[in-house]
């Protein structure tokens, strides 16, 4: 079994704090450059991932590894959350709301690392504020640190102002929603707040825009990105470079609630057509005798 040395043990926490301080440093820069928030979110998510592993290590060193039988790969952030929430392992209360926010920040980090950078600094600032708030709690309650051990007082106060600004923005958005009459408001897929105004196709908090479309099957309204492609259930044929598709009267997409029934309908149609073809073959066979 791989033995976690004292150096390794210190590195998880020490490196987490180092990344956290770097994140705070980027967040405090007095500039309109969007890139500062890119680096702030990259560092704060890395700090969180290392802090999660340190908390798992304190339960038992093997829990920081993806497989307890191998020490070649440590757990991903998502696996770490699952283990921390598991009553038999970490037994830590991480709410579903916090879990969603953490995973969205993790996904954002991946996007910023691997894809073209096209997020506004306002959006990333909101994500940073969410994770910063969570990490203050986590360092104190789960890793038993004093605030001064991971952030100095001035930095703490500066970023708290940022967090408070986010809180004020959210309160204003919620107040706006409360004044709306006969409006449908959904949970925003970006900020996870109940502030997405369907008729405007935009969140009044984080300003995410997304088309709202009707499901071709049941007519229910959905976020466009929630519709699921079911064209793999169609019959496709290629003949001399020509593609033909039998869609059985169905559209290529439908909402999640309709997927199972729509695919079953297609299978029923296929079965019915097959039975009809077999019956016709039998008819002509008997007729030809």
Longest Cα–Cα distance in the chain:
97
pLDDT at 79: 94
pLDDT at 201: 94
Residue 244 bridge partners (DSSP): 237
Three-state DSSP at 284 gives helix
Instruction: Tell me the average confidence (pLDDT) per consecutive run of 10 residues in the chain, 289 residues long.
Output: 47 95 85 76 94 96 86 89 95 90 87 70 79 88 91 82 76 89 90 90 86 94 94 85 84 93 90 82 73
Residue 197 bridge partners (DSSP): 185, 202
Residue 159 CA from chain centroid, whole number: 24
**Can you give the residue ranges of every domain in the chain?**
6-169, 174-225, 231-287
161: enclosing H helix or E strand: helix 153-179
């Amino acid at each position: 079994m791989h033995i976690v040395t004292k150096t390794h043990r210190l590195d998880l926490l020490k490196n987490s704090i180092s990344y956290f301080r770097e994140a705070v440093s980027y967040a405090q820069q007095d500039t309109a450059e969007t890139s500062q928030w890119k680096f702030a979110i990259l560092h704060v998510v890395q700090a969180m991932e290392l802090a999660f592993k340190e908390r798992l290590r304190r339960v038992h060193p093997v829990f920081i590894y993806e497989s307890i039988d191998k020490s070649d790969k440590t757990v991903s952030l998502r696996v770490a959350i699952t283990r921390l929430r598991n009553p038999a392992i970490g037994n830590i209360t991480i709410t579903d709301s916090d879990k969603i926010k953490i995973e969205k920040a993790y996904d954002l980090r991946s996007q910023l690392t691997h894809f073209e950078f096209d997020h506004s600094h306002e959006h990333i600032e909101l994500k940073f504020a969410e994770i910063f708030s969570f990490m203050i709690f986590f360092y104190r309650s789960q890793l038993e640190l004093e605030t001064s051990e991971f952030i100095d007082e001035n930095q703490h106060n500066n970023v708290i102002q940022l967090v408070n600004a986010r809180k004020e923005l959210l309160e204003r958005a919620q107040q706006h929603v409360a004044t709306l009459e006969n409006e449908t408001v959904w949970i925003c897929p970006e900020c996870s707040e109940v502030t997405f105004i369907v008729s405007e196709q935009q969140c009044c908090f984080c300003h995410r825009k997304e088309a709202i479309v009707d499901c071709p099957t049941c007519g229910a309204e959905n976020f466009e990105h929630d519709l699921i492609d079911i064209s793999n259930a169609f019959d496709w044929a290629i003949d001399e470079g020509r593609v033909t598709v039998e869609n059985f009267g169905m559209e290529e997409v439908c909402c999640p609630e309709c997927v199972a029934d729509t695919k079953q309908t297609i299978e029923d149609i296929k079965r019915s057509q097959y039975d009809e073809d077999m019956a016709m073959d039998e008819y002509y066979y008997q007729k030809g005798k």
